[in-house]
Amino acid sequence: MKICFICTLYGSVKNHNYLSLAVEDEVISSIGRGLCVLIGISKDDTKRDIEYIARKILGIRLFEDERGKRWNLSVKDKGYEILCISQFTLYHVLKGNKLDFHNAMATEKSEAFYQEFIGLLRAQYQADLIKDGKFGAYMQVNIQNDGPVTIELESPQQEEASEPQFDVV
């Protein structure tokens, strides 16, 4: 599983939406301060990947504290919102000048995987602070951020368990 965090954290206008998603010009989701999380799901991802990424989203220290020390508090510490957007294009491969997405999970399977991921985030944080877009839809994404701060993170690849080798005597 691969994600990109985009922080919408430095704005000074209170109650202003820093990120919004629209489908066919109708806003379907928005947040103020917090994280926009673009989520790519690999064909090889498992429940362990979901758990790892959810833990990192909630725990990674991207925000400054009350003394102005940067990179010291998490989204959970700040009580900020999280807007998740499914983004299969994170698992692209270039073949010449053409994009290939064979490493992304198939749409049918990835939608259930994505919904499980959103459910886990809501269970581990404040459910009303977790927002998402419309899975598989073409959306207009409006992001206003300062910095900019964009962090990419990928879950560790699971090594295939190999059979132990024994010498027969």
What residues are annotated to the active site?
A: 89
In one-letter notation, the amino acid at residue 111 is: E
With contact defined as beta carbons under 8 Å apart, do 126 and 16 qualify?
no
CA dist 120 and 97 (Å) reads: 37
Per residue, the 3-state secondary structure of the chain, as one string, reads CEEEEEEECCCCCCCCCCEEEEECCEEEEEECCEEEEEEECECCCCHHHHHHHHHHHHHCCCECCCCCCCCCECHHHHCCEEEEEECHHHHCEEECCEEECCCECCHHHHHHHHHHHHHHHHHHCCHHHEEECCCCCCCEEEECCCCCCEEEEECCCCCCCCCCCCCCC
With contact defined as beta carbons under 8 Å apart, do 154 and 52 qualify?
no
